[in-house]
Amino acid sequence: MHSQPNHAVTAVTAHLYAYKNFILLRGLKFLHFLSCSVSHWVAQSLKYQRIKLVKSLIFVNFVYGNQAFPPPSMSQYCIYIALDPYLAQWFVHDCGGEVPCILQKGSVESKVLEVYLQRLPHSVQPQLEAGTGEIAIAIPAFRHRPAETYNYLPKRATSALLNCIRNRFDVALWNDLHHFGKIGRRQDELIYAWMEKHGIEPTEANWNAIAKRYQRQRDLYLDRQRKSSKKSQKSY
């Protein structure tokens, strides 16, 4: 005896099969939509990053000229200080010959900036370029004091920085030339040679300024020697 097919079960099975295919089709469409959306988002993100990179390169090229990128130890922010011509030329040469000047890591000047740089006051306009007689110094990339926030050097801190530069100049000058004793016009080539070695233009004005600084140091040295000699004589 043959069983008769159950038409109700067959209909339900057909509906379930159709529904399964419907769900599968919708799932595939959703995955396709999701894939397209993600691809579009990635493309837009890459486009934005490319635009941002191009803008950064344009800015860096504008600030640093032929240097493709600033060194990792410096930022894109600068401070500007006024120095006498001979001192500015010496300092630029001592920092590597590039402007803006890149301070050596751990130098006295770098420590002054790390300690005294502040947020720009609301009443002060940011300085974007060097004025007459000024040189630019790149603010180092301090770990806990980002240059985009701390890029203003107050007046007294600027004076402290200038004194550090002058003191280092005097030390370098004295260490190299004090062996020669008094340097007069007959020995002017000694100072001119020192100027050439340190990137200072060989002008008469520069020579006179450096000769005066050297003579001032020599006078102080001789004065200390005389006082030391008198103390020694009194002790006997």
Reported as type and span, the H/E element at residue 78 is strand 74-82
Q: Is residue 79 part of a domain?
A: yes
How many domains is the chain built from? 2
Q: Is residue 112 part of a domain?
A: yes
Of 220, 221, 166, 210, give the one whose Cα is nearest residue 187.
210
Domain range for 127: 74-154
Domain boundary among 154, 181, 216: 154
Specify whether 122 is located in the same domain as 147: yes
3-state secondary structure of 221: helix
Q: Is residue 38 part of a domain?
A: yes
Q: What is the pLDDT of residues 157-190, one digit of tens each?
A: 999 999 999 999 999 999 999 888 777 666 788 9
Which pTM was predicted? 0.66
Instruction: Please determine, for residue 206, whether its predicted confidence score (pLDDT) is greater than 90.
Output: yes
Instruction: In whole angstroms, give the CA distance from residue 212 to residue 37.
Output: 74
Q: Is residue 166 part of a domain?
A: no
Name the CA radius of gyration of the chain, rounded. Answer: 36
Q: Is residue 52 part of a domain?
A: yes
Q: Is residue 207 part of a domain?
A: no
Residue identified by tokens 């001789």 is 222
Residue-wise DSSP of 111-172: HHHHHH-EEPPTTSPPP-S--TTEEEEEEE--SSS-TTTEEE--HHHHHHHHHHHHHHHHHH
Q: Is residue 102 part of a domain?
A: yes
Specify whether 15 is located in the same domain as 57: yes
Instruction: In whole angstroms, give the CA distance from residue 205 to residue 88.
Output: 14
Q: What is the pLDDT of residues 26-82, one digit of tens each?
A: 666 666 665 666 565 656 665 555 555 544 544 444 444 444 445 545 568 999 999
